[in-house]
Amino acid sequence: ERKEDIIFLLNHFLRSYGRESVRLTGEVEALLLAYPWPGNIRELWNVASFMAFFPEGPVGLDQLPEYLGEASEGQGEWNDLVFSVPENELLEVLRAVVQLSSIQGGAGRASIEKYLKNSALPLREGRIRGILSLAQTYHLVVSGPGRGGTRLTEEGTRCLNWLENRKSIKPD
């Protein structure tokens, strides 16, 4: 909520790793200030931890976790989407679409429900329909005619990678 504190907090966290004077390139500062920080302060701490392992000198985009850069590309849209749908639900549905599409050529709602039934996040067909509808609005998936099923688009693959990267960095 307080964007003006992001750089101050980042420097504070980096000092705990022994990085006293950290210079950020203008691109990095702009990206950090524009990023919505859905993981809040813990996510910022994780970014500082990631950055701490790079040598001294100006911090460039290549010294940030990949998902931050990917977020800037689709940031507005994808962040709006993950505020509309719980991130873990979107992630699991997109994963299911990828898995089922590789086997069947497409993934129908019923097959996604069946696939997720024994997972840590079983979802009902109606909920899956809503998530797929939103995902289609954001051009993450396309639905085939009739029983053609749903497939991930290139944009959907980028979003899935972004979600996977966030999950690997964000604390639970």
Express each pLDDT in 133-150 by its tens digit.
Answer: 888 888 889 987 666 689
Chain CA centroid to CA 68, Å? 9
What is the distance between the alpha carbons of residues 142 and 120, in angstroms, rounded to a whole number? 26
Grade residue 168 by pLDDT with cuts at 50, 70 and 90: low
Predicted pLDDT at 96: 93
Please report the pLDDT score of residue 73 as a whole number.
Answer: 55
The pLDDT score that the predictor gives to residue 97 is 93
Residue 21 confidence (pLDDT): 67
- Residue 30 vs residue 128, higher pLDDT: 128
151 DSSP β-pair partners: 142
Q: Is the pTM of this model over 0.95?
A: no
Q: Tokens representing 106? A: 């497409």
Beta carbons within 8 Å of 154's beta carbon, 6+ residues apart:
none
Q: In which band, very low, low, confident or very high, does the pLDDT at 113 lie, cut at 50, 70 and 90?
A: very high
pLDDT at 70: 62
The secondary structure of the chain, three-state, reads CCHHHHHHHHHHHHHCCCCCCCCECHHHHHHHHHCCCCCHHHHHHHHHHHHCCCCCCCECHHHCCHHHHHHHHHHHHHHHHHHHCCHHHHHHHHHHHHHHHHHHCCECHHHHHHHHHCCCCCCCHHHHHHHHHHHHHCCCEEECCHHHCEEECHHHHHHHHHHHHHHHHCCC
Report the pLDDT value the prediction gives residue 29, as an integer from 0 to 100.
Answer: 84
**pLDDT higher than 70, residue 11:** yes
Tell me how far apart the alpha carbons of residues 53 and 157 are, in angstroms, rounded to a whole number.
28
- List pLDDT tens digits, range 13-61: 988 888 876 788 888 888 888 777 766 788 888 888 888 888 777 888 8
Q: What is the pLDDT of residues 76-85, one digit of tens each?
A: 567 667 777 8
